[in-house]
Structure formats: C-alpha cells, structure tokens
Chains A and B, each alone.
Chain A
Amino acid sequence: MPPAVDLERLADFSDGTEEGLRTLVRIFLEDISQMIGELRRAVPRGDAAEIRLLAHRSAGSCSACGAARLGELLEHLEEAARSGRLDGSAGMMTAIDTELDRVTLFLTDYLASLGKTE
C-alpha cells in the first residue's frame, strides 16, 4: 500500500519553508477532520447536495496536499451524490474514515519527525 500522503506533492504545494509546511499540515488536518465530520453527519440524512459539496471540497484539499487515496474515496462519494446513487454511501463513509485515520497518523508522525531534525 502506498504512503497515505505523497510528501513530494505536499512539499510542492507548500511555501517551501519548514514553518510553512508545519502550518499547512496543521490547517489541513484541522479542516479535513471538520469537513469529513460534517460529511459523516450528512450521509445518514441522504442530503445529496450537501454530500456532493462537502466531498468535492474535501477531495480538493486532499489533492492539493498529496493525500491521493483519501481524495479518490471522496471523489467516489461525490460522484455517487451527483448521480443520486447514495445506497452505498455508508460503506464509502467507513472507508473514508479508515483512510482519514491513516492520513492523520502519517502526518502526525511526519510533524514529529520534523521536530527531531531541529
């Protein structure tokens, strides 16, 4: 299984400084957790418009930061909401939550490893 986050893409997106990278990762983790939390609440309601918007925004953030697998899962959910086929959305949400945990752990370890090089 590939790493949860492509660090090369993350570095390309960042402003090129270690401080900037730390800030970027912190903002990403805060926002992606919040957006996926909102998505988790929207899925049981079957609110296709809200699911589509939240999944689209979350996928965009993941793509910018190199969290490719999480981005793909969110795009699948976005597509399901767009086509009105939300019957499998609970299972998709479980996969998204599992991958979010993997991304969070990966980036938390990465931040800690940056600290050790100072």
Chain B
Amino acid sequence: MTATGRILLVEDDKFLRRASEASLRQRGFDVVTAIDGEEGLRLAREAPYPDVILLDLLMPKMSGIEVLRALKTDEATVKIPVVILSNSSRAEDKQEATMLGAAGYYVKANLSLKALAAHVSALIEEHASRG
C-alpha cells in the first residue's frame, strides 16, 4: 500500500522517532520530524501544513499538551488531526488530550506501527472527504 500525505512527527525519543518515521516513509508518507514541542509547534504553523500531527506528551521546552492547546486555538492549525503518542496509560491524561481535541491516543508500550499508519491513512481520507 502506498499512501500520500504530509505527517509531522513530534517526538523526543530518538528510537521511536526513527522507527515511526521509517515505517511511515515506507508506506509513502512525506514525514517531517521535530525533537521538542517548540520546534513541533513552529513546523506545524509553516506551510505546507501537515495533514496529520503525531505528538508526544512529555518533551523538553514545551509539553505535548501545551502544543496541542496552541494548535487547537490557532485558526491555521485547528483542523489538523493530532494523534498523541504517550508513555502514560492514565485515563486522566487520555481524557485531557481528548477534551483538547486530540484525534487519537496511543500508549507507547502497546504501540503498533501498522495500526498507527492505518489510523493516519484513515484520518487523511476523512479530512480530505470533508474538504
């Protein structure tokens, strides 16, 4: 399967960033990466805008929650689906991300790169069909 779409991956964990990037590129996605929240927010606000943002929660400089809040209060980025990648399986963390507008929440210890890529594809299709 070859997919299309621009993904912004904001993740400070080098291994997960490299593994996710390689998996998404192999499926045909255009992937841009950031290693902290500040860089992630800057790249999210630059054209061409990403179709989907994959966002870690615990990061240096600016947390994923702070980035998510900023994205969802900015007219330019409010419609971009954001999927959270987190070490935390706490229901409160998932609930907070969902309330702020996250389109998905994955706990890293149970992550499947196959499922993540399928979710990203579905979000891009859904976004495109809404125009």
C-alpha spacing A32/B18, complex, angstroms: 12
Closest to A16 in B: B114
Check A27–B112 contact: CB distance below 8 A: no
| A20 and B23 contact, CB distance less than 8 A | yes
**A107 vs B70: C-alpha distance when bound (angstroms):** 42
Expressed in whole angstroms, the Cα–Cα distance for A23 and B25 within the complex equals 12
Within the complex, the shortest CB–CB distance from A2 to chain B, in Å, comes to 18
Q: Does A118 belong to the interface (CB within 8 Å)? A: no
Contact A15 B23 (CB under 8 A): yes
Q: A13 to B16, Cβ gap below 8 A?
A: no
Chain A 14-29: CB-based contact to B (< 8 A → 1; otherwise 0): 1111011001100110
Residue pair A19, B26 in contact (C-beta under 8 Å)? yes
Which listed residue, A16, A23, A32, A64, touches B111 by the CB 8 Å rule?
A: A64
Contacting pair B27 A15 (CB below 8 A): yes
Binding stretch for chain B, among A41-49, A55-63, A78-86? A55-63
A12 CB-CB contact with B under 8 Å: yes
Residues from chain A with a CB closer than 8 A to the CB of B78 are none
Q: Which has the most chain A C-beta neighbours within 10 Å: B13, B19, B23? A: B19
- List the B side residues contacting A13 at CB < 8 Å: 111-113
Min C-beta distance of B111 to chain A, whole Å: 6
Main secondary structure of the interface of B (DSSP, over half): helix
> CA A101 – CA B97 in complex, angstroms?
39
CB distance A60 to B13 under 8 Å? Answer: yes
Q: What's the nearest-Cβ distance from chain A to residue B5, in Å?
A: 16
Chain A residues, Cβ within 8 Å of B32? none
B16 near A64 with CB under 8 A, answer: yes
Q: Name the one of A15, A27, A57 contacting B18, with C-beta atoms under 8 angstroms.
A: A27
Tell me, yes or no, whether A6 is within 8 Å of chain B by CB. no
B15 touches A20 (CB 8 A): no
Q: Which residues of B contact A64 (CB under 8 A)?
A: 15-16, 19, 108-109, 111
A20 to B14, CA, bound (A): 17
**B87 contacts A60, C-beta separation under 8 Å:** yes
Instruction: For B26, list chain A residues within 8 Å (CB).
Output: 15, 17, 19-20, 23
